[in-house]
Homo-oligomer: A and B are copies of this chain.
Amino acid sequence: MTDVDVVVVGAGLSGLSAARAVVAAGRSVVVLEARDRVAGRNHGQVLDNGVPIEMGGQWVGPTQTAVLGLVEELGLELFPGYVDGDGVTIYRGNVTRYGDWSFGLDAQTGAEVGRMVGRLEELARTVSLSSPWLTDRAAELDSMTVAEWVRAGTDHQGAIAFWDTLVPGLLCAEPHEVSLLHFLFYVKSGDSLKTLFSTAGGAQDARVVGGTHQISERMAAELGDVVRLGCRVHSIHQDDRGVRVSYEGGEIRAANAIVSLPPALAGRLHYAPPLPPARDALTQQMPMGSVIKIQVVYDTPFWRQDGLNGVVMSMDDALSVTADNSPPDASCGIIVGFFEGEHARRAGALGVEQRRKLALDMLVKAFGPKAAEPVEYVEKDWTAEEFTRGCYGGRLGAGVWTQFGSALAEPCGRIHWAGSETSDIWNGYMDGAVRSGRRAAAEILDDATT
């Protein structure tokens, strides 16, 4: 009566990881993908000069063992990000170079930020990763936003500006848009704040030669024609016997479904019978982050000659974070940058020329006049992507974890939920996506073998 054992909705890292696990267990699978490509929030492009770049997720770090193992298994190679030299911080018109852990903050600001980071790391360690709503004092931590925690914790303008840049840097959302409990969960999920914002040894440690989208492409190639592109799923019916997943142009019957979409998009499918209230409510309130990723290309990574590593944090500019994104052979110089949170929303309403100007203004402050003349400028506004609608991932505002968090990964009958948003380890990252797909597949396979 069924076409396959499992039907997977979404051919990003999580969906393909799930499908691969299903196939490895000797079961049959079909993966339905709305786009005409796989890889979801990973997306490879090629510059005019022939250099491959990534317009989506690109970095991996040493504790991301799931995605690292997969990279190796698929025969892909890593290269370290460029880290030699000083970083730059821009604040109140001052452009400060630093080669230590000061982040270019003055002593007083640095001390205040350090104190607060310590306090936050301490709080983060109290969070239950598997069940954040069971954390000690969960109700209290979830009843306040990160902004409220910052305001209650300091009057120091520099420290406030730091958090106002750091939080969007991690979640593409403003501190008042994020529950403190969610932020603590997110931090612990990726080990620590220091790990999250670090390059070497941290979340921005290394890249995949040729681009991260190849991880999905190679999985899809292995899976073969069971991965079907251009199939936008619109509804899922389930009953005692199985699921029927309908897309424009057809339908697949299976014993189980894995929906490998962020909750905000998963909520847009039609479910029959309807999903329980808590699951539905969750999908109403896990919005995606706002980010425009840009790559600015130069003939050479000229900042390296000035002793700069390309990392810039600006608390003054719309483009708030950059890094050196040049290819391993340094055949050209590339700066990757991000408009995040409110900056992304405002910049998104402008034209490309205005955004380019905003970006170059910031890069000139950081790297000097040479930065004004790139050979190419490319960008991607992830909020405009119909089948993602925001990056890096979904976030939870005040109150959602404690009220609806248990619905995030709990299966609804024959429907299982994957996607990086459902991972307790490296939530929101590629590593979390891989783990989530395997976990969803295991739920089904474990069931099937008992």
Contacts and interface: CB of A to CB of B under 8 A. Distances in A.
Interface string A228-270: 0000101100000000000000000000000000001001101
Interface stretch (A139-147, A214-222, A420-428): A139-147
A284 B270 contact: no
Contact of A277 (B144, B234, B270, B348): B348
Interface stretch (A10-18, A196-204, A379-387): A379-387
Contacts of A188: none
Chain A, interface size category, equals 35 or more
Given A147-B398, A148-B145, A397-B398, A284 B281 contact: no
Contacts of A274: 384, 386
Nearest to A381: B277
A277 B348 CA distance: 8
A335 interface: no
Contacts of A383: 277, 280-281
Contact of A145 (B276, B348, B398): B398
Nearest to A348: B277
User: Binding site of A, secondary structure by majority: helix, strand, loop or mixed?
Assistant: mixed
A275 to B, nearest CB: 9
Contact of A398 (B268, B384, B398, B404): B398
A288 B112 CA distance: 39
Contact of A143 (B147, B264, B287, B398): B147
Contacts of A267: 268
A176 B140 CA distance: 10
A270 B145 contact: no
A409 to B, nearest CB: 17
Contacts of A148: 144-145, 148
Nearest to A265: B284
A104 interface: no
Contact of A268 (B268, B399, B404): B268
Contact of A281 (B285, B290, B386): B290
Contact of A403 (B264, B345, B399, B404): B345
A342 B398 CA distance: 13
Given A280-B383, A285-B287, A144 B176 contact: yes
7 contacts: A145-B148, A174-B399, A176-B398, A176-B399, A276-B384, A277-B389, A285-B287
| In the complex, the 6 A-B pairs of residues with the closest C-beta atoms, listed nearest first | A284-B287, A277-B383, A274-B386, A176-B398, A285-B287, A143-B176
